[in-house]
Amino acid sequence: MNARVPKKPGIADASRLSGPEKAAIVLLALGEDHADVWKQLDEDEVKEVSQAMAGLGTVTAGVVEDLLVEFVSGMSGSGAIMGSFEQTQRLLASIMPVDKVDALMEEIRGPAGRTMWDKLGNVNEAVLANYLKNEYPQTVAVVLSKIKSEHAARVLAALPEDFALECVTRMLRMEPVQREILDKIEQTLRTEFMSNLARTSKRDSHEMMADIFNAFDRQTEARFITALEERNREAAERIRALMFVFEDLSKLDPGGVQTLLRAVDKDSLGLALKGASDALREMFFSNMSERAAKIMREDMETMGPVRLRDVDQAQMAMVQVAKDLAAKGEIMLAGAGGDDELVY
């Protein structure tokens, strides 16, 4: 005689349900025609809701009605939905090709604005000038004529003077621009400038931690990196690769070194070089005049022993000056993780 399997009692009280159970009931009520909803859940969420769904048993009509009312009330009342770049990208990926999703997300992540010219108006003038200085003066004239006067003025001031004057001359005698030419300029800006700007604006958690680690003194940095390596070697290696440290200044070109030397405090420079490698120290000396290098060497010798903490602070300050110059487009910084040039 077969043993009878006890029937699981029906669920009659919505207040006792967990979040996954409530989600499972709502999804069951929506039916198979709403499979796209499942696509918006990550793997762990699918697993959790599926497990809850499999163990539900019978759910009374009253409970289903209560949950649907709760769901609709939550949507219309508190608007309890969390939007994010990741959620948006995942949703778009379910309805359009990956390459179109990537292009759209890059535009979304870029500067705010409904049109290309609105977006350009929200780009830092130094960043925009650094891009435009490599374009034809006529193209720059068109771009500057399409953005707000105040912003155009700041961009012109940030351009090399002779080039800026040539752009002004073109703007003075510029005739109405044909629609197809304007469209071509917009497309170039979108594909060559805005997409790169959006990509460089992305920051993941490792980049954020690399900036934090950059701000540590040497001993604290070593302690955290060592501890992190024991727990998560891959994360530690990614952070180390993304960090920009004082010794990475050795990758500056001669023009960049000279620009940096003009911007840093000479006392801080001597203190920073006290803790530098011989190769980096010589690189800076070789980009000074013979007299300036001689004076710097003498100043460093008269310092005598210095505290490591003071050296770290001087080096960190010098790295920050280099990053500020890079943000203005005056120098290029090479990342510690490879040969690719990065502008911070």
d(C-alpha 330, C-alpha 130), whole Å: 8
Structural domain 246-328, CATH architecture: Orthogonal Bundle (1.10)
Count of C-beta atoms within a 10 Å radius of residue 24: 23
Q: Are 93 and 292 spatial neighbours (Cβ–Cβ below 8 Å)?
A: no
What is the SS3 string spanning 298-337?
Answer: HHHHHHCCCCHHHHHHHHHHHHHHHHHHHHCCCCCEECCC
Tens-digit pLDDT profile for residues 86-113: 556 666 676 667 777 666 655 555 444 4
The matching CATH number, chosen from 3.40.50.300, 3.60.15.10, 2.40.50.140, 1.10.220.30, for 116-201 is 1.10.220.30
pLDDT in tens, 50-89: 777 777 778 788 887 877 777 766 554 444 444 444 556 6
> Domain 205-242 carries which CATH code?
1.20.5
pTM of the model: 0.37
Token duo for residue 162:
């002779």
| pLDDT single digits (tens) 266-295 | 888 999 998 888 889 999 999 999 999 999
Q: State the average pLDDT over residues 17-33.
A: 77
Q: How far apart are CA 158 and CA 147, in angstroms?
A: 15
Average pLDDT along the chain: 76
Q: Where in the chain is the domain with CATH 1.10.220.30?
A: 116-201, 246-328
Lowest mean pLDDT among 159-173, 191-205, 294-308: 191-205
CATH 1.20.5 positions along the chain are 205-242
pLDDT at site 23: 81
Q: pLDDT value at position 165? A: 93
